[in-house]
């Protein structure tokens, strides 16, 4: 039974004024909440409440008038408490998405799921339609929630959409709470309810993002004055919140100018012998290597990734790519086709013209190199738009290319948000778009590109399986799982986030895994000892934490991590501890959806056919890994796994010589390797007659 709040009769024989009176009002309100929780609305008479409080009904009436007055004050107290929580959380939120989360978190906070508070709320909800004073309180509470949500949503989606989405979120908050209350909190608790709302909101925002069309085709083509133009954006260091730069978004005029410059320059570039184009790319590779430490530090500041990664991977792999395609540029060739004595045929492998690259934020410089190197080697000009969250190092690449002697206009960076991306995907002069991004963005890009029949290469998301058989070398398998989940704080598309472990090895695997995960060092990304840095943004961190909450609510066992890290200087950044779940089921949200954060799900299996079926039971198909000493099984498994990029006894290594890309919803086309040349060229077939024409006319 909830504890009553007896007031001391001796100390309050008569009404008092000032602070004492406020204290007494508060105490009486607390007693009223207890009473509502215990005997409900009807039983909570003035006399009953007075007797619980140990005071006379007259004293209660003195402070509140009558029962309605007391109940209205109590209802206001409950609503005000939430408002206060919302206000506090809004103050700490830094982004529109963070402010939406603040509203959700405050309304579905654990204290609102406490039985005593919950039953009191229910008692009021049952009365509001019959009691105008209570209705007033309820109206204010609802209006406030809606206006907070609408205000934040307007910065993310157009006005009308913001209005309806705010109403939906408010209804979900109330609905989720009500269902939980009516099931006596068996159906969900605060954490599960918040996770549900987080997933719902992210899903709706993502849908809105992919469906939103804020420009007409005419705008995209010609830069009409009615184009909706994003103004500018800032990039921050996600480890500290420090602002690193501000960029104006390229609108139609800037994009058109870039395309015109690229078109003019490309004709000459394509006519340059491949060996000369290659020499420029290789010079750029050397310059990148010379500037490795400076660029690695810039990448670390812009992305939050540890310097121990960016120094050895991000710049180096970009340079390798430029060097590799620099070498291939002179080897582009067509075929000779024998057509008998009267003719022969040949093909020319020609560039596409002006192409666009659109990058994601996890490997900004590497992605810019992976796209530009094959494009330029083949004689195309590229306009590249980095992700708005990481605009810095693509600009440096442009600088490096210029230093290496690349003709003006052949590689140009345009900055901006999705609208700028759309200007590229819809531009009739641009003949191809290569995107690295989410599946929904891939669909939007392909839809837009279809209007002008552009070619597309889509490197999209994944939820890849990493399979460990009983006979695997367990330390290697654990190392692979660590690389495949916690490198770049888990923000890697090919990550093996579904770790299937055969039952016989599961205990040993788990034991070594946990030891190594617990030893991982989360910290300042610029500290060379740091192994796990910050996530890219607060919004993304909130999304990842939402998934973790969802995993717990759906019954996965948390073996490590599971929370934000805010120790010392990390408090201003977006750090999440490396997280491992086991006892996972295939139907859990954390097992089905791409999280793009440091969250590993461990699943157990018995035999090969079972794990194969479970591994392939996903819409994604980017990558897969198999750990086993049985070589025939390894190749048999790889042949049957539905994935574009596979590893045997390793994970997440991507040498430039090997094509990289996905199947199913993970993408189209390939980057890297000789294969990428196919995607940046077109074939011209030529028939050559060797005899006079024998015409039947
Ligand atoms: P997004 O899809 O949100 O954005 C990718 C890029 O596309 C950004 O530059 C973005 O601009 C731009 N963009 C967004 N909407 C449109 C549109 N309608 N038309 C044209 N351009 C658009 O991806 P993230 O940046 O969030 O990256 C994370 C995702 O990328 C994950 O799903 C991950 O799996 C995937 N990825 C895939 C890889 C692969 O090789 N398969 C490698 C790395 C990541 P802006 O940022 O300015 O909104």
pLDDT in tens, 536-573: 999 999 999 999 999 999 999 999 999 999 999 999 99
pLDDT at residue 681 above 60? yes
- Tokens at residue 200, please? 């719902």
Average pLDDT of the segment spanning 74-81: 90
User: How does DSSP classify residue 660?
Assistant: B
pLDDT the model gives residue 648 = 98
Q: Is it the case that residue 308 has pLDDT exceeding 80?
A: yes
* pLDDT exceeds cutoff 70 at 225: no
Calpha distance 177→118 (Å, rounded):
9
| pLDDT band per the 50, 70, 90 thresholds, residue 582 | very high
At 15 the pLDDT is 53
Distance between CA 565 and CA 545 in Å, rounded? 11
**How far is Cα 251 from Cα 231, in angstroms, rounded to an integer?**
9
Pairwise CA distance, residues 115 & 568, whole Å: 36
Question: Tell me, what's the pLDDT at 18?
Answer: 56
Quick: pLDDT tens for 184-196.
878 788 888 999 9
What average pLDDT does this structure show over 53-76?
A: 88
- pLDDT per residue over 8-63, tens digit each? 333 444 555 556 778 888 889 999 999 998 888 888 888 899 889 888 888 888 88
Which helix or strand (DSSP H or E) is residue 662 part of? Answer: none
Q: What is the pLDDT of residue 94?
A: 76
Quick check: is 463 catalytic? Answer: no
Q: What pLDDT does 267 receive?
A: 97
Nearest in space to 322 (alpha carbons), one of 379, 373, 380: 373
Percentage, residues of the chain above pLDDT 90: 73
Q: What is the pTM of this model?
A: 0.72
Buried b (16+ CB within 10 A) or exposed e, 273-309: ebeebbbbbbbbbebbbebbeebbbbbbbbbbbbbbb
Could you tell me which residues are beta bridge partners of residue 586?
none
Query: Does any ligand 1 atom lie closer than 6 A to the CB of residue 393?
Result: no
663-697 burial by CB neighbour count: b if 16+ within 10 A, else e? ebbbbbbbbbbeebbbbbbeeeeeeeeeeeeeeee
Residue pair 662/456 in contact by the 8 Å Cβ criterion: no
Round to whole Å and give the CA distance between 361 and 314.
12
What does the CA dihedral 281, 285, 290, 295 come to, rounded to 10 degrees? 110
Residue 618's pLDDT is what? 98
Residue 459 pLDDT > 90, yes or no?
yes
Nearest one of 3, 198, 169, 165 to 98, comparing CA atoms = 198
Residue nearest ligand 1's atom 8 by CA: 387
pLDDT tens digits, residue range 519-539? 999 999 999 999 999 999 999
Residue 661 has pLDDT above 50, yes or no: yes
Cα 533 from Cα 535, distance rounded (Å): 7
Q: How far is the CA of 503 from the centre of ligand 1 (A)?
A: 37
Residues 6+ away with beta carbon under 8 Å from 132: none
Q: Which secondary-structure segment (H or E) carries 242?
A: none
Supply the pLDDT for residue 14. 53
Residue of 321, 369, 493, 584 marked active site: 493
Whether residue 229 is predicted with pLDDT greater than 70 in this model: the reply is no
The share of the chain scoring above pLDDT 70, in percent, equals 94
Output 622 or 202, whichever has higher pLDDT: 622
Confirm or reject: Cβ of 458 under 6 Å from ligand 1: no
Task: Assess whether the C-beta atom of 533 lies below 6 angstroms from ligand 1.
Answer: no
User: Rounded to an integer, what is the distance from CA 278 to the centroid of its chain?
Assistant: 36
Report how far apart, in Å, the C-alpha atoms of 607 and of each of 148, 470, 614 are: 52, 10, 11
- What are the pLDDT digits (tens) for 164-183? 899 999 999 999 999 888 88
Q: Tens of pLDDT along 119-167?
A: 888 888 888 888 888 888 888 888 888 888 988 887 788 767 888 899 9
388 CA closest ligand 1 atom index: 47
Kindly state the average pLDDT of the residues 471-478: 98
* Strand ranges (E), 606-696: 623-627, 645-648, 667-668, 681-689
User: Could you tell me the pLDDT band of residue 208, with boundaries at 50, 70 and 90?
Assistant: confident
Task: Report, as an integer, the average pLDDT of 421-443.
Answer: 98
Which mutation among 436, 541, 621, 672 tests ligand 1's pocket best, with the greatest number of atoms within 8 A of CB? 436
User: Is 493 considered catalytic here?
Assistant: yes
* Contact assessment for residue 223 and residue 423, using Cβ atoms and an 8 Å cutoff: no
Confidence at residue 214, expressed as pLDDT on a 0 to 100 scale: 36
Contact at 8 Å (CB) between 474 and 505?
Answer: yes
Nearest alpha-carbon partner for 597 in 542, 515, 654: 542
The dihedral over CA atoms of 301, 318, 536, 598, expressed in degrees to the nearest 10, equals: -120
**Cβ atoms of residues 170 and 150 within 8 Å:** no
Mean pLDDT of the chain: 91
């Amino acid at each position: 039974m909830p504890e009553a709040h007896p007031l001391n009769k001796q100390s309050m024989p008569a009404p008092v004024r000032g602070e004492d009176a406020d204290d007494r009002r508060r105490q009486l309100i607390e007693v009223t909440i207890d009473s509502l929780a215990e005997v409900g609305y009807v039983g909570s008479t003035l006399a009953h409440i007075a007797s619980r409080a140990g005071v006379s009904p007259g004293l209660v009436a003195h402070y509140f008038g009558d029962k309605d007055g007391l109940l209205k004050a109590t209802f206001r107290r409950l609503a005000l408490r939430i408002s206060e929580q919302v206000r506090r959380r809004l103050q700490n939120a830094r982004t529109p998405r963070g402010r939406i989360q603040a509203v959700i978190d405050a309304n579905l906070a654990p204290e609102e799921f406490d039985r005593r508070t919950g039953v009191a709320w229910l008692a009021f909800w049952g009365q509001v339609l019959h009691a105008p004073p209570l209705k007033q309180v309820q109206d204010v509470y609802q209006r406030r929630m809606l206006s907070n949500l609408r205000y934040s949503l307007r910065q993310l989606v157009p006005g009308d959409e913001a209005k309806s989405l705010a109403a939906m979120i408010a209804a979900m908050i109330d609905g989720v709470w009500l269902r939980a209350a009516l099931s006596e909190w068996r159906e969900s608790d605060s954490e599960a309810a918040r996770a549900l709302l987080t997933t719902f909101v992210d899903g709706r925002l993502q849908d809105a993002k992919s469906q939103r069309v804020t420009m007409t085709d005419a705008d995209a083509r010609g830069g009409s004055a009615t184009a909706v133009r994003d103004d500018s954006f800032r990039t921050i260091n996600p480890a500290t919140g420090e602002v690193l730069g501000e960029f104006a978004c390229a609108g139609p005029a800037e994009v058109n100018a870039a395309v015109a410059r690229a078109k003019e320059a490309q004709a000459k570039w394509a006519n340059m012998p491949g060996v000369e184009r290659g020499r420029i790319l290789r010079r750029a590779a050397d310059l990148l290597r010379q500037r490795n430490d400076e660029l690695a530090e810039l990448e670390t500041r812009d992305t939050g990734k540890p310097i121990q990664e960016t120094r050895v991977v991000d710049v180096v792999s970009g340079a390798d790519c430029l060097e590799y395609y620099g070498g291939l540029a002179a080897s582009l060739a067509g075929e000779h086709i024998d057509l008998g004595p009267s003719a022969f045929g040949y093909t020319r492998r020609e560039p596409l013209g002006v192409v666009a690259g659109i990058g994601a934020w996890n490997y900004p410089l590497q992605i810019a190199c992976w796209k530009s190197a094959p494009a330029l080697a083949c004689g195309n000009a590229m306009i590249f738009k980095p992700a708005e969250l990481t605009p810095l190092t693509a600009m440096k690449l442009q600088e490096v290319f210029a230093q290496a002697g690349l003709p003006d206009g052949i590689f140009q960076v345009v900055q901006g948000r999705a609208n700028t991306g759309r200007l590229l995907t819809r531009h009739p002069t641009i003949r191809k778009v290569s995107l690295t991004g989410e599946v929904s963005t891939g669909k939007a890009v392909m839809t837009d590109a279809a209007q002008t029949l552009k070619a597309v290469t889509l490197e999209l998301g994944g939820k890849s399986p990493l399979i460990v058989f009983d006979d695997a070398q367990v330390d290697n398998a654990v190392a692979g799982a660590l690389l495949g989940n916690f490198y770049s704080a888990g923000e890697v598309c090919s990550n093996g986030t579904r770790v299937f472990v055969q039952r016989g090895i599961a205990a040993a695997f788990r034991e070594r895994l946990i030891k190594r995960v617990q030893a991982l060092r989360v910290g300042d990304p610029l500290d060379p000892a740091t192994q796990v840095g910050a996530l890219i943004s607060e919004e993304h961190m909130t999304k990842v934490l939402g998934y973790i909450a969802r995993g717990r609510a759906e019954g996965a066992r948390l073996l490590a991590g599971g929370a934000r890290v805010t120790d010392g200087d990390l408090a201003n950044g977006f750090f999440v501890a490396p997280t491992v779940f086991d006892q996972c089921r295939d139907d859990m949200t954390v097992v089905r959806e791409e999280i793009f954060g440091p969250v590993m799900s461990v699943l157990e299996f018995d035999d090969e056919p079972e794990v194969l079926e479970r591994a392939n039971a996903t819409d994604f198909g980017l990558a897969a890994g198999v750990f086993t000493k049985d070589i025939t099984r390894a190749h048999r498994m790889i042949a049957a796994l539905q994935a574009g990029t596979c590893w045997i006894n390793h994970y997440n290594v991507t040498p430039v010589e090997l094509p990289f890309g996905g199947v199913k919803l993970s993408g189209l086309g390939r980057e890297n390797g000789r294969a990428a040349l196919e995607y940046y060229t077109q074939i011209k077939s030529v028939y050559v007659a060797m005899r006079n024409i024998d015409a039947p006319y």
